Amino acid sequence: MSAAAMPFTDREVAAIRGDFPILGRAVRDGRRLVYLDSGATSHKPRVVLDAEREFYEQHNAAVHRGAHLLAEEATDAFEAARATVAHFIRAPEDEVVFTKNATESLNLVAYAFSNAAPTDEPKDPRFVLGPGDEVLVTQMEHHANLVPWQELVRRTGATLRWIPLAADGSLDLGGLDTLLTERTKVLAVTQVSNVLGTINPVGELAARAHAVGALVVVDACQSVPHLPVDVATLGADFIAFSGHKMYGPLGVGVLWGRAELLEVMPPFLTGGSMIELVTMERATWAPAPQKFEAGVPNAAQAVGLAAAVRWVEQVGIDRIHAHEADLAERLLTGLAARPWTRVLGPAAGTPRGGAVSLVVDGVHAHDVGQILDDAGVAVRVGHHCAWPLHRALGVTATTRASLAAYNTADEVDTFLTALDRVPEIFGIAEAS
């Protein structure tokens, strides 16, 4: 990342906002929409919508099938989208698998450990899991990077272990030597917490995992849209992310995996497209990435995702990161001035992602979110698909504001002002 990356100027943000038709609409009682829920899903710039529409209007055909002109164009568009996404994360093209979303990407990897034919084929020992083996996750994982591993150990008799959460919202690595051992076959960890904004030391964790022979699976949903990710230097063996959280369409996600691993992994879903040869008795597989893309692929969505990547590259991912960090700091400073709020996760001044979760003691997050919604401010409330994290921090639910390239300092201020109605309505000020 360039150290010189600057936040966007007001004029630049205005231009960025102009790319997103939905930001022009009004919400409750004609109020201006203040969208602070991009961690759940981002909005999509017009170029993404146009790319999808153009695919359907001009090139629509089933990819990797047929010899007619449209089929060729559709296949070219789909493979060009793969190349665009691969370049964005500095990966070779054949290491990028298109999926439905990050959840499917993570399941694809988890199933590689228990989905292989049980008999005749020699299995790569790295994908053999059984009693005595361990899968190591963390207490801050999104359910998508936790539940598939819980289910995998249930199927295989292996054991699930986890790195605990420290009170400051970082991972407590004090006991890592006893958690990460030669029994560990997989380390699954998020790069950036979707709740706390914590940036985990993936490089260090991956090096230690590799030293004991474990594979490293990284949930990159909250990193790829927000900061430069280079798989060549990250240290991971797999990363998973969703298109819809990075200005792309719903219904397309990505699994990146090192080529030599994708080559030896058994397929997840089977059927059309992913085969090499089929007889009545059995089938052999196409090389990766096709081996993992069964059925007619989501080409229009992949093309839309490529348009989103080009949009991000044009705006600059390092500038998006600087912009969101700037806004997060403004948000945290504003919250610090409101002592009836409590921010979970890294404090102001710590490098972090653009997700800020807070608690108003005595008021449930649903009620906080409702009052914000009444002011036109969209946030996420609840456990954000990270229930164990919330339990570990002793809270049932939090209110999360999450930032994107199109957010403004004004919007952060609107959020803070709207938040001030919470103690007014619920009488916290009277009580204190």
CB of 222 to another protein, least distance (A): 20
CB of 359 to another protein, least distance (A): 13
User: Out of 44, 185, 291, 383, which residue is the one contacting another protein (CB under 8 A)?
Assistant: 383
Question: Should residue 9 be labelled a site residue for another protein when binding is judged by CB under 8 A?
Answer: no
Nearer to another protein, 93 or 367 (CB): 367
- Region near another protein per CB under 8 A, out of 44-52, 148-156, 237-245, 377-385: 377-385
Q: How many residues touch another protein (CB under 8 A)?
A: 18
Question: Should residue 429 be labelled a site residue for another protein when binding is judged by CB under 8 A?
Answer: no
CA–CA distance, 50 with 41 (Å, rounded to integer): 19
217 DSSP β-pair partners = 188, 238
Question: Should residue 146 be labelled a site residue for another protein when binding is judged by CB under 8 A?
Answer: no
Q: Sort residue 262 into left (φ over 0), alpha (ψ -120 to 50) or beta.
A: alpha
Question: Should residue 155 be labelled a site residue for another protein when binding is judged by CB under 8 A?
Answer: no
CB of 358 to another protein, least distance (A): 15
Question: Should residue 374 be labelled a site residue for another protein when binding is judged by CB under 8 A?
Answer: yes
Catalytic member of 179, 385, 386, 404: 385
Structure tokens at 270: 């089977």
Q: Give the phi and the psi of residue 84 in degrees, each rounded to 5.
A: -65, -45
- How far the first Cα of the chain sits from its last, in Å, is 46
CB of 366 to another protein, least distance (A): 4
- The DSSP letter of residue 131 is T
Question: Should residue 397 be labelled a site residue for another protein when binding is judged by CB under 8 A?
Answer: yes
Question: Should residue 427 be labelled a site residue for another protein when binding is judged by CB under 8 A?
Answer: yes
Q: Is residue 24 helix, strand or coil?
A: helix
Question: Should residue 364 be labelled a site residue for another protein when binding is judged by CB under 8 A?
Answer: yes
Would you give the distance in Å from CA 86 to the centre of its chain? 16
Question: Should residue 333 be labelled a site residue for another protein when binding is judged by CB under 8 A?
Answer: no
- Which 212-271 residues touch another protein, going by CB under 8 A? none
Question: Should residue 400 be labelled a site residue for another protein when binding is judged by CB under 8 A?
Answer: no
In total, the chain counts a number of residues equal to 432
Asked about 221 being catalytic, the answer comes back as no
C-alpha distances in Å from residue 108, one per residue of 82, 236, 247, 265: 18, 16, 23, 10
DSSP string, 32-90: BPEE-BTTT-----HHHHHHHHHIIIII-S-TT--SSHHHHHHHHHHHHHHHHHHHHTT
Q: Catalytic residues, which ones?
A: 385
The residue ranges that bind another protein (CB under 8 A) are 363-367, 370-371, 374, 381-383, 387, 390, 396-397, 425-427
